[in-house]
Amino acid sequence: MYQYEKEIAQLERKKPMITYKLEMYPLTKYGVLAFSIAKANKDKKINAEIVFYYNDPHETEAERQKIVAESIDSILANHGVAGFARSSSSFHSTTYLQVFDFSFGFGTTGGKHNEIKHKEDWDWKIVERIEHDYSNEFTLEDIKAL
Q: Return the domain boundaries, the chain.
A: 3-145
pTM over 0.75: no
Distance from C-alpha of 142 to C-alpha of 44, rounded to nearest angstrom: 49
Per-residue pLDDT of the chain (146 residues; tens, 9 = 90+): 888 888 888 888 888 999 999 999 999 988 888 888 777 777 888 899 999 998 888 999 999 999 999 889 888 888 888 777 665 443 333 333 333 334 444 333 344 445 788 899 899 999 999 998 887 777 777 777 66
CA distances, 96 to each of 10, 35, 111, 134 (Å) = 17, 21, 31, 34
